A and B are shown apart, each in its own frame.
Chain A
């Protein structure tokens, strides 16, 4: 009998590649306002993470750095294996197709139908008509809006509008979905419906980062929480509750 056989089997934790890696991130705006200080975060693929913090804590800057709308004044941001600081401008669109993003105010095009809003995201990236006809109905089905595809945003409820925005964000099959206060304009019941949808999307393998003020949702979900305060990451805890440490 060899040593190997005598040794009890211990499952080794698998190293999951981070889809997001922020190393020593600092961000100071030209007017001198310090938005982020020495932030270090790794988000593995498939994670569901809440980003919490009071207004002005640096959540928006955090998100803007991830989609390379801004570059940090210190440190390194790596998304899906790409260092955003060294990324050429021409490569940014490809990065953004790897990251879906939704906002509190939905940002739908009011003159376009649900179908057209989702199709638009494919159209402007050069997708073929066949691709559009194949992908859009599948996404509208996923978010439960296949029967509303001819409706204009004004004819939809807030929850339905946010679902349309989610369908649009998923149109390029992104590795990550960033939701910036997605329930901010929704009633509690609709908010929970939306969270269920995000959980479903996460279960399909998409990493989800959700910035929120919604204490009830954070507490109930018991997922990883990143808490920012005055630009500093004051808490990074898995299975955490929403705490008012700020």
Chain B
């Protein structure tokens, strides 16, 4: 059975002409041609819906400013001020800029000096990656408040998080434990889930685990760890997909995992 002429399919899909009897019969019997025509019809429908999309309004200026502020905040997270520990409490809720968190946490003009020292003490791959963006951010926005430089936050342990099991491979992230007992998670491309994400620390020897907290839709999150948590035992960071089922146990659906190393 030879397929219908593709040009003919295009015209049929655009409603340019009606299918004749032979064509209708063929379309009824041939999944290939039917699919192609459905696709073309669908695309034509989308095309017809594009009117007005060529002249869309730009976002207001504050959106760009917020983007810059949040990027700066996210990429300088490891340098949370030390002595003012309460500042770090602002991060989980203060993810959006404009609430003062970015302004308090960042010291753009002093960043280079502070960073070089921080990098020297925590020469991890993660640190190197973050240092790499410092120049970028200065260019993006050289203005901003310049609070007193604070001692660097020391990273006690960190773990690259990789897609686990059936999770799409582009999902990834990074976990760092700071010396103030907080777990910083940076996440990218988590797949959509019908419920919510939850973070766990797992002891790989006996698979005992406890929940560290729940994630919002931010790409960065700071969660407090229990005091004196044994990170050598509970060394696996796990991000799971949880359903709203009133079951507080791990769903068994791990999205990301990584092992902390100090």
* Chains A and B belong together in one complex: no
Task: Using CB atoms and an 8 Å cutoff, list the residues of chain A in contact with chain B.
Answer: none
